[in-house]
Structure 1
Amino acid sequence: MATVEFRQASRIYDPARPPAVSRVNLEIADGEFLVLVGPSGCGKSTTLRMLAGLEPVDEGQILIDGQDVTETRPRERDVAMVFQSYALYPNMTARQNMAFALENAKVDKATIEERVAFAAKMLDLEDLIDKKPAAMSGGQRQRVAMGRAIVRQPKVFLMDEPLSNLDAKLRVSTRAQILALQRELGTTTVYVTHDQTEAMTMGDRVCVLKKGILQQVDTPDTLYNNPGNTFVATFIGSPAMTIIENVPFIDGRVVGGKDHALDYYMPRELAAKVKTDRVVVGVRPENWEIAGVNHAGEQYGLPVHVDIVEHLGSELYVYGSRQEQADSKVAVRGDRITVKVPRGIDIDQGDTIYLRPMEGGSVFFDPETEINYDYL
């Protein structure tokens, strides 16, 4: 087990273009499961490969257990990587694949057999130990790839989208298996995924990247309930947070114009930080209160035309567009409002629903920087 630290670490492919990874500062605790997440091309796999030594660090440093490994060769860093494509030797059995790195390192035969048996039992591979990859399913191959990493007993596990080639059901079961495995071994793990649901369910902390720049590192709970900026707010959470722009701010109060649905006071400590006459408001799908369906109800509500009704078994979501554009300055980003519908309320496509944010259910962002006022 080990600590990992990135100090102003950058990867620059072309000096004429923005860095693929830009001045990342990140500390990973001993035994922590950290997930790197972000859209395609954000630099998450490059960051992982920099830690593995497969990509050079053009600026800054990377430390493992306090030791600078920036210029150290990959095989001397004592890390083990699990790739998206399994990368198994097709002519070798599962046993041979797992033992190969140890044999190259001149580990004695008894130790190799002990470690391979331990990994095979832990990963439920005992019945497959003498089979070759061609005779295995995708999930079984991935378990062999994980076993190959486990037998090395590295300081750090690195996993680069290891579940992306699996079907949905197998992804869920393998995800739980990886998490249980890491908890049992206690090995520091850095895990890359583009799937924010995977990130939220697996990580002790989650690091969100955008265009090579670290946006926020925190627990899944904090990222969801108190995102650092509008990018994190809309990337984390499925369905995404609704972002409402240009909401007037007057005397400590947000004022939603003629719709009245956004008329309420901001928390005093946040209101003191507002230096403009407008703010950006974010609301999660479950934090909308439905004041009425096809009628305004007793309270004012934001009128929304229901475009799509999505049934997900135990949950119901509706996607709609703001119907009454009475206040032209107030705008919904993407013209899409997502609402989680409580049980007992019937809503159909084409209905008009009237919405109000629940008390304490909104997040407020600075309109210029799009940073959450909590972090200013």
Structure 2
Amino acid sequence: MATVEYLGATRRFDPEAAPAVDSMDLRIDDGEFLVLVGPSGCGKSTSLRMVAGLEPVDEGEIRIAGADVVGKRPRERDVAMVFQSYALYPNMTARQNMAFALENARVPKADITRRVAEASRILQLDDLLDRRPANMSGGQRQRVAMGRAIVREPSVFCMDEPLSNLDAKLRVSTRTEIAALQRRLGVTTIYVTHDQTEAMTMGDRVCVLDKGRVQQVASPQELYERPVNTFVAAFMGSPPVTLIDDVPVESGHAVIGEDRVPLPIKVEAPTVIAGLRPDGWELSSPEDPRALEFEVLLTEWLGSEHFAYAKPCGDLRGASIRGERVIVRIGKKETLSPGAKLYARAISGEVQFFDAVTERNLCA
């Protein structure tokens, strides 16, 4: 097993453009499951490929088990890579594809059989072991590609959106199996996804990237409850956070409409940005003078939870809601039709406050 360290690691595709990965400093502990997440083009796949040796490092170092691997060939790094594409040998069966690297490494046949069987069980491949890729669906091919990496039992797993071609039900069950397998084997794992639900449910820690730069590295709970800036707050969490710009500050309080929410720290600036998760709102009534009035646009029922998407109607005293839309968690049996009025107020202690200029969390 091994630690992985990025030490000022930078990758440039165009000398005239901003780096794809910009001076990345990050340590992944031995046996840790770390997820790289962010929007398209943020540098997460490039960061992963730099560890695997598939992308060069223009500046800085990448260390595996304490050794600088910059300049080493991929096969010298003891890293197993799972790609978003399948990259299977078309003339081999699923069983042969998974066993191929082990046979080349002269692993005993009994061990090969055991490893292939275990990977097949985890990935629900037992009925596919004797099929060739041409006779499989895209999701089945991706599972075989994952099995090929799992059987190698490497020092580091690098997984680049391996579940993207699976159907929704299999995606949920497979991500659970991957996380359980990783914890059982204790293999250091770097996992790339654009899906923040995958990131929150799988990772010991999550590294949020934007424009090639690390924004925050923390546990899923900390990212949700104490995002370092508005980007992380907006990206992590489903449904997303509501951000309210230019909220006036008066006598140690943030003034949201007619409501006054205590600020957790002293703020000298005239305004702040307020962030509220869907569960940070308390439903109220038109008789409550501190409640904000909204018009319901639509509701989203998810079985265990029910959300209302609404636009503001009342005066926010100079503040403005990004996107002109709030998301409020409502009762499971609440019935609100589009056009209905909804009254809610911020729950004190559930509001995140950000600097109006830097957009950094004032309490992080």
Aligned to 1:62: 62
How far apart in 2 are the matches of 1:225 and 1:122?
33
| 1:260 paired to 2:249 | no
The CA deviation at 1:180 is 1.7
Aligned to 2:12: 12
| 1:352 paired to 2:341 | yes
The CA deviation at 1:83 is 1.0
Aligned to 1:277: 270
The CA deviation at 1:24 is 0.8
5+ long unaligned stretches in structure 1: none
Residue identity in the other structure for 2:258: H
Q: Residue 252 and residue 132 in structure 1: after superposition, are their counterparts in 2 closer, same or farther (change >3 A)?
A: same
CA offsets 1:211-233 (integer angstroms, 9 cap, x no match): 11111111111111111100010
For the aligned residues, what is the CA RMSD?
Answer: 1.7
Residue identity in the other structure for 2:301: H
| 1:319 paired to 2:314 | no
CA offsets 1:157-176 (integer angstroms, 9 cap, x no match): 01100111112112111111
| 1:303 paired to 2:300 | no
Residue identity in the other structure for 2:261: Y
Aligned to 2:235: 235
- The SS at the match of 2:169 is helix
The CA deviation at 1:118 is 4.2
The CA deviation at 1:114 is 4.4
The CA deviation at 1:59 is 0.9
Aligned to 2:322: 333
The CA deviation at 1:205 is 0.7
Aligned to 2:178: 178
Contact 2:233 2:241 in 1 (8 A): yes
Q: How does 1:63-102 map to 2 (within 5 A)?
A: 63-102=63-102
Query: Structure 2 length as normaliser, TM-score?
Result: 0.95
Q: How does 1:178-197 map to 2 (within 5 A)?
A: 178-197=178-197
**What percent identity do the matched residue pairs reach?**
59
Q: Residue 122 and residue 325 in structure 1: after superposition, are their counterparts in 2 closer, same or farther (change >3 A)?
A: closer
The CA deviation at 1:103 is 2.9
Contact 1:317 1:338 in 2 (8 A): yes
CA offsets 1:46-77 (integer angstroms, 9 cap, x no match): 00000101000111110111111112111100
The CA deviation at 1:325 is 3.4
Contact 1:139 1:170 in 2 (8 A): no
Contact 2:122 2:177 in 1 (8 A): no
With 283-292 and 144-153 compared, the bigger mean Cα shift is at 144-153
The CA deviation at 1:110 is 4.9
Aligned to 1:44: 44
Contact 1:139 1:174 in 2 (8 A): no
How far apart in 1 are the matches of 2:311 and 2:127?
55
Of the three residues 255, 260, 279, the one matched with 1:286 is 279
The CA deviation at 1:297 is 2.3
CA offsets 1:179-213 (integer angstroms, 9 cap, x no match): 12112211111110111111111111111111111
Q: Residue 166 and residue 113 in structure 1: after superposition, are their counterparts in 2 closer, same or farther (change >3 A)?
A: closer
- The SS at the match of 1:374 is coil
How far apart in 2 are the matches of 1:226 and 1:14?
35
5+ long unaligned stretches in structure 2: none
Q: Residue 120 and residue 344 in structure 1: after superposition, are their counterparts in 2 closer, same or farther (change >3 A)?
A: closer
- The SS at the match of 1:373 is coil
- The SS at the match of 2:243 is strand
Q: How does 1:64-143 map to 2 (within 5 A)?
A: 64-143=64-143
How far apart in 2 are the matches of 1:264 and 1:95?
61
Of the three residues 331, 339, 342, the one matched with 2:331 is 342
- The SS at the match of 2:284 is strand
- The SS at the match of 2:116 is helix
Aligned to 1:155: 155
